[in-house]
């Protein structure tokens, strides 16, 4: 195989992120954030047919997805399992592609990178920059060989996907039917019965009776063991400013020009700035930190437990009082940090005996309101079918009618109702305006009563242009359906052969973060 030489790049390059491939997670955000402890785990996160997903592969995807999740919802729960599953899926497709004879050459990789325009230095006229490229490799824990290997896998999978998606075909009848499904509209009225919102008091006598029952001890303990809120370590909400240097872990950009002594002096200067009267830590962090995510978050790390950070950082952050800023730079493998303790949450450690009564009350409430919800839904539906008023019953359980906007017959999501397949199927079975479902549809713990509000069916009449456009659209959608089926079949094949390994240490990251 041709040895990769970065001088092969002929065109301009624009960004550190290699666009549009794999998980979109090639940028590593691991500069001393709550996910950096991934680096302490085994070197293999998982494997497919003996091909390993390395710790570095996982770290890049995990930290990038954690940051995206934090920005979307403020939470990073469930990310580890999701990321590992995506990496394994991609590796499965790569193995399938090779078996089908799909290959990607070094020349194709170089050509692709030139087309997307990566690694150029705008200060040098947009030409390819060895410094930018090698900073990227170093900051993302790549060697040139491992970078090329990842690009080869990604482009090979893209070739396979294009092959599958491009092989689809639809007939005129299919196009007409799809048009009718997408252009016909309906809307429904619905009542959503949420058991938790049903007004109900549980008496002390009921709690005592429940606790005394022979089978209650096991139910109470199961609830206690499955809820993490009874055992939560001390957590700190902190912000920080990172000053990196050329020998620090994940150093990049301007930090590569800075010696360790220069970094320390800069950190000391920044401490004076953030401690000055009227100084805004967030504003200064956004401007001065060397951590990529800190430039948008103001160095905010949210709440974290001590064991989710490198020790030097955690020791310093937990030693500070809320509102206090570290008086000297805190050194870690990532560089020097100025740390601000924003808030501290005390540990929670509630024994089973202490929690027993409250858990019993919760379990009784859950059982009773679920029974009330099911009984009430049956009475409401019976009343509606008999043309009898149900307003009084609705008021007693805190429920009311709501009406959806119009949606197409081929929808997979209804605003206000959701995307549950069983629920959508029940809606589409309603044919006449005013028709009510025969029984409430249960989605998780909620019960839905549905009544058809409007229904408008169109004739499948298309002119030549509309038919052409819809044929292309439907062909593409059908192609992606084939791709999903191929991926599903591939996964089932590897699972059946027990050729997929998931390292429990990595999956456990989710439960550690929940705690």
Give the number of other CB atoms < 10 A from CB of residue 62: 28
What pLDDT score was predicted for residue 35? 44
Domain ranges in the chain? 6-166+497-514, 185-219+352-456, 234-346
CA angle 246/252/253 to nearest 5° reads 105
Residues facing residue 187 across a β-bridge: 454
Residue 23, pLDDT score: 30
Domain 6-166+497-514 falls under CATH 3.40.50.150 = no
The pLDDT score that the predictor gives to residue 328 is 95
Contacts of 435 (CB under 8 A, 6+ apart): 451, 452
pLDDT at 25: 34
Kindly indicate whether the domain formed by 234-346 is annotated with CATH number 3.90.1150.10: no
* Confidence at residue 320, expressed as pLDDT on a 0 to 100 scale: 95
* Residue stretches of the chain with pLDDT short of 70: 1-41, 73-77, 116-118, 122-125, 510-515
Burial of 39 (0-12, 13-18, 19+ CB in 10 A): middle
Residue 31, pLDDT score: 36
- Write out pLDDT tens, residues 337-382: 999 999 999 998 899 999 999 999 999 998 888 888 899 899 999 9
277-289 burial code (b ≥16 CB/10 A, e <16): eeeebeebbbebb
The confidence score (pLDDT) of residue 251 equals 81
């Amino acid at each position: 195989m041709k040895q990769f030489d970065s001088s092969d790049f002929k065109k301009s390059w624009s960004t550190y992120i290699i666009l549009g491939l794999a998980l979109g997670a090639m940028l590593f955000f691991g500069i001393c954030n709550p996910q950096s402890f991934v680096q302490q785990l085994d070197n293999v996160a998982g494997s497919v047919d003996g091909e390993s997903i390395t710790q570095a592969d996982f770290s890049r995807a995990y930290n990038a997805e954690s940051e995206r999740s934090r920005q979307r919802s403020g939470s990073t729960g469930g990310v580890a399992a999701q990321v590992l599953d995506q990496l394994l899926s991609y590796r499965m497709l790569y193995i399938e592609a090779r078996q089908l004879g799909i290959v990607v050459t070094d020349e194709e990789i170089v050509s692709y990178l030139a087309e997307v325009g990566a690694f150029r230095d705008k200060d040098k006229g947009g030409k390819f920059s060895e410094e930018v490229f090698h900073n990227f490799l170093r900051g993302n824990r790549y060697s040139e060989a491992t970078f090329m290997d990842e690009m080869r896998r990604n482009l090979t999978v893209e070739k396979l996907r294009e092959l599958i998606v491009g092989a689809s075909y639809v007939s005129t009848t299919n196009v007409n039917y799809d048009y009718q499904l997408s252009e016909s509209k309906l809307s429904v009225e619905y009542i959503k019965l949420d058991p938790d919102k049903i007004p109900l008091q549980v008496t002390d006598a009921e709690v005592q009776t429940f606790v005394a029952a022979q089978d209650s001890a096991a139910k109470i303990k199961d609830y206690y063991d499955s809820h993490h809120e009874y055992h939560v370590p001390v957590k700190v909400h902190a912000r920080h400013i990172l000053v990196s240097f050329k020998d620090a872990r994940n150093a990049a950009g301007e930090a590569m020009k800075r010696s360790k002594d220069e970094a320390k002096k800069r950190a000391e200067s920044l401490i004076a700035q953030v401690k000055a009267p009227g100084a805004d830590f967030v504003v200064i962090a956004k401007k001065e930190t060397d951590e990529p995510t800190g430039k948008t978050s103001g160095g905010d790390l949210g709440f974290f437990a001590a064991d989710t950070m490198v020790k030097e950082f955690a020791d310093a952050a937990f030693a500070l009082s809320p509102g206090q800023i570290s008086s000297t730079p805190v050194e870690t493998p990532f560089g020097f940090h100025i740390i601000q303790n924003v808030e501290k949450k005390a540990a929670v450690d509630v024994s089973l005996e202490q929690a027993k009564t409250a858990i019993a009350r919760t379990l009784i409430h859950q059982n009773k309101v679920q029974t009330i919800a099911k009984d009430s839904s049956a009475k409401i539906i019976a009343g509606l079918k008999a043309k009898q008023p149900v307003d009084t019953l609705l008021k007693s359980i805190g429920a009311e009618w709501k009406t959806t906007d119009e949606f197409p017959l081929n929808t997979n999501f209804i605003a206000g109702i959701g995307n549950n397949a069983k629920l959508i199927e029940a809606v589409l079975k309603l044919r006449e305006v005013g028709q009510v479902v025969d029984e409430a549809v249960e989605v998780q713990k909620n019960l839905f009563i549905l009544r058809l509000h409007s229904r408008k069916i169109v004739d499948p009449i298309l002119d030549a242009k509309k038919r052409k456009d819809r044929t292309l659209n439907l062909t593409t959608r059908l192609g992606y359906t084939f791709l999903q089926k191929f991926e599903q079949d591939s996964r089932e094949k590897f699972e059946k052969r027990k050729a997929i390994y998931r390292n429990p240490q990595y999956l456990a990251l989710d439960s550690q973060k929940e705690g």
